[in-house]
């Protein structure tokens, strides 16, 4: 499966960037919250899948920002939940 062209992943990548910007977080701060490096966050925000992506990121977004995992993949958050 070409994961970068999968619609659900595209929504997720876009949402991660939106969440960071909406909350006024620098990339290093968002990366720390998600437990990843800045390079991995940059790849995600650019629509690329880092070599090592843990499902823990999805949980941390839920824990830190209260966004359900299903909404992270199914809804463009900038359009409202």
| DSSP string computed for 9-55 | HHHHHHHHHHHHHHTT--HHHHHHHHTS-HHHHHHHHTT---SS--T
Per-domain boundaries in the chain: 3-74
Two tokens at 80? 């409202």
Read off the pLDDT band of 81 (50, 70, 90): low
Question: Could you report the per-residue pLDDT of 17-66, keeping only the tens digit for each?
Answer: 999 999 999 999 999 999 999 999 999 999 988 888 788 999 999 999 99
Architecture of domain 3-74: Orthogonal Bundle (1.10)
């Amino acid at each position: 499966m070409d994961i970068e062209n999968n619609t659900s992943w595209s929504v997720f990548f876009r949402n991660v960037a939106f969440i960071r910007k909406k909350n006024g977080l620098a990339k290093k701060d968002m990366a720390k919250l998600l437990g990843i490096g800045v390079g991995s966050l940059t790849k995600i925000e650019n629509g690329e899948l880092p070599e090592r992506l843990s499902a823990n990121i999805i949980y941390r977004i839920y824990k830190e920002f209260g966004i359900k995992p299903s909404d992270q993949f199914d809804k463009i958050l900038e359009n409202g939940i």
